[in-house]
Amino acid sequence: MSIFSGNLSKWSEHLQKHPSILGVLLRGTEIYSTTSEAAGPEVMIIITDEEFEQRLQKGSLHYREVDQDGAAVQGITGRYISPGYMDKVARFGSEPARAAFMEVVIVFSRLSDLRSRINDITEYPFQQKQDNINRFYAQFEAWYQECCKAFVTEEPYLLRQSVMNLILFGGRLILAHNEMLYPGHKWLIHTLEHARKKPDGLLKTISELMTEPSRGSLELLYRQVLEYHDWVREDLNWTDYVIMDNELQWMGRNVSVGEI
Q: Provide the 8-state DSSP code for 68.
A: S
Other C-beta atoms within 10 Å of 197: how many?
11
Q: So what's the pLDDT on residue 77?
A: 85
Domain boundaries, the chain: 6-122, 129-251
Q: How far apart are CA 229 and CA 23, in angstroms?
A: 43
Q: So what's the pLDDT on residue 67?
A: 46
CATH code for the domain defined by 129-251: 1.20.120
Q: So what's the pLDDT on residue 1?
A: 37
Q: How far apart are CA 260 and CA 256, in angstroms?
A: 7
Cα 223 to the chain's mean position, in Å?
Answer: 26
CA triple 225-202-33, angle to 5 deg: 125
Q: Given 3.40.50.720, 3.40.640.10, 3.20.20.70, 3.30.460.10, which CATH number is that of 6-122?
A: 3.30.460.10
What is this structure's pTM?
Answer: 0.87
Q: Provide the 8-state DSSP code for 98.
A: H
pLDDT in tens, the chain (260 residues): 345 556 677 888 888 889 899 999 998 754 444 444 555 678 999 999 999 999 999 999 998 655 445 555 457 889 999 999 999 999 999 999 999 999 999 999 999 999 999 999 999 999 999 999 999 999 999 999 999 999 999 999 999 999 999 999 999 999 999 999 999 999 999 999 999 999 999 999 999 999 999 999 999 999 999 999 999 998 889 998 888 888 877 776 565 666 56
CA triple 228-232-237, angle to 5 deg: 130
* Long-range Cβ contacts of 234-243 (<8 Å, 24+ apart): 236/134, 236/137, 238/134, 238/137, 238/138, 238/141, 238/142, 239/138, 239/142, 240/138, 241/134, 241/135, 241/137, 241/138, 241/139, 242/138, 242/139, 242/142
Q: So what's the pLDDT on residue 8?
A: 73
> What pairs with residue 62 in β-bridges?
79
